[in-house]
Structures are given as structure tokens and as C-alpha cells.
Structure 1
Amino acid sequence: MNIRKAHIRDIPAIQELINVYASQGLMLPRSLNSLCEGLRDFLVVEEAGKIVGVGALHILWTDLAEIRSLAIAPERVKNGLGLKIVRALLEEARQLGIEKVFTLTYQPGFFEKCGFHRVPKDALPQKAWKECFDCVKFPNCDEVPLLIELKDIQPNQTG
């Protein structure tokens, strides 16, 4: 198993993995265009040449980033891959000097196990909502916002 930065050749597999869950209403879909534009945000978990996990760290401001598009192959769920991806993304945020990381999710329990805590939507800066205008659920977002402050945890302490 290898966690690494995503490559262009990974985009079809990333999109397929995300859209498995998007088709079930468990996460938002990602277009080919958005994946190409945000490719540098993504980490993938590769196992025997197959992408079995994905997650992205999207920087919004000097002190704020978002974990998004976290998806694990259905046959690999409950094997700790999600936690490993979140840890890797938080470590990347720490190395970049980012102080806070948030997520908008339909799976708040998982992120709470990773050390995130729920926050009111209005606690996030307006910049966090800029992509929401293009979302099919705007303005009736039902995702749960969670936040973690990296100063409050030691490296690899999550989960």
C-alpha cells in the first residue's frame, strides 16, 4: 500500500471512486474539470496498481484548508484507510504552516473520531463557501461542518 500525490493518469479512477458515493448521495460529485484543476490537492492510496482511496487538501487562505473528496473503495472500507489519508492530509497542512482544517461532510462521526469537532456553519469564513454557489444543493446545504486546529494536536495524533 502506497499513499502518494495523485497523477494525471489517476483522474479516471479518482472520479469513479468519488462518484460511487456521490451516486448514493453520500458525497458531492466531482467533474472531470474540477479534478484536473485541483489535482495537486489530491493524495491517493494505491494498492497493487489500483487506486483504493483518495482525499484532497484544498487551501483556502493562509491559515485555513479543507479536507474534501475523501473516498475509500467499498471493498476496503473499515480497514483504516480513511484515517491514514486524513492523517497524511493533516500532516501536509502542518508542514505548509496551516493552522486550521475543516471539512463539510455527511459522515461527521468519522471526522469526530479523527479529532475534528462540529462548528456552526457561520463559524467558517465566507471564503469557505465560494464553491457552494455551483453546488446542486445550494442554498440548502445539508453537510455538517467540522474543524480541527492543528496547534491542539501533535503530529499523527488524530484518531
Structure 2
Amino acid sequence: MEKYILRKATIADVKAIHRLLMDCATKRLLLPRSFGELYSHLRDFIVAEDVETGTMAGCCALTITWEALAEVRSLVVAESAQGQGLGRRLVEFCVSDAVTFGVYKVFALTYQVPFFQKLGFSEVSKDILPQKVWADCLKCPQFPECDEVAMMIEL
């Protein structure tokens, strides 16, 4: 039996998603997300739930940013669940979701370059993501000094 199930997030998951994201944000591993952002983008999120305990072990979101482009974002796996392939499963779920929508280019802004390379993503210039810059980056506290790496996979 599988230890974790992956499913679409629900309203009941928002506080747990927020805790996971804020824990990583305090370590500067990803950007923080407000409750308002989580509620308004809840449909983008999937969660990994521990079957035995019912606790959230991870989350990830797929956000469609333009006609043929989507972003994997807010990928977090709880420390207790790391090293078990859960991050890979979360990203693969999002990539599969993108294909369902007819989107065949998926990118991520990340500090975890080797992880995304193992999944088939390649490093790209942020210059090819103008919609992302205008939609999110201008609001980011790290803009314009962003040190995340842009990675993309074409399906």
C-alpha cells in the first residue's frame, strides 16, 4: 500500500499548506504565500497526504501563466517525508495536469537545479518568461535581484 496519496487540495488543507510553505520560506527556500493567495489559487494545488496519519506531507501547485506555458510552484515536502520520491511524484502530477489542459511547456523558478534536471527540466534564461515577470516577479521582495534559476521542460 502506498504511504502517501496525492489529491487536489481542499479548503480544509489551506492552513497546513500555509505552514509547509512558511517553514520553507523562513529558510529562504521559496517565496512565502499569504492566506489570500492560497485561497485564490487553491485550485492550482495538489497535496500529498500521509495515509496512516492523515497529515500533509507535501504540496505543489501548477499555475497556467499564458496560452502555452505553466509554472510548477510552491513545491514543498515535509522534512519527515523527504528522500522517498514524493517531490518527484508531486511535480509529475503537475506536469501531467498541464498536459490535460493542453499546455506543453512547464517551467519552475528554483534553487533545486539538480532535482529538476533529474525530472527532465533544462536551465533557460528568465528572459523567455516575460509573462511571469509582469505577473509575479514585480511583486516579489527579491525583485530585481532574484537568484532563482529558471528551468523548463517541453512535453
Q: Calculate the TM-score normalised by the size of structure 1.
A: 0.91
| Unpaired segments ≥5 residues, structure 2 | none
Shift of 1:134: 1.1
Residue 43 of structure 1 corresponds to: 46
In structure 2, C-alpha distance between the alignment counterparts of 1:33 and 1:109, rounded to whole Å: 32
Mapped to 1, the partners of 2:148 and 2:100 lie a distance apart of 28
RMSD of Structure 2 on Structure 1 (CA): 0.8
Distance 2:126 2:131 in 1: 12
Cα distance in structure 2, aligned partners of 1:128 and 1:25:
20
Q: State how many pairs are aligned.
A: 149
Q: 1:12 aligns with which of 12, 15, 21?
A: 15
Pairing of 1:10-159 with structure 2 (within 5 A) = 10-47=13-50, 48-124=53-129, 126-129=130-133, 130-150=135-155
2:136 aligned counterpart, secondary structure: helix
The superposition leaves residues 36-57 of structure 1 with CA deviations (integer Å, 9 ceiling, x where unpaired) of 1100000000112111010000
Once residues 115 and 104 of structure 1 are traced to their aligned partners in structure 2, the CA distance between those partners, rounded to angstroms, is 15
Gap regions ≥5 residues in structure 1: 151-159
TM-score (norm 2): 0.94
One-letter code of the match for 1:35? L
Deviations 1:90-149 (A, max 9, x none): 11111111010000011111111111000011122x111121111110111111000000
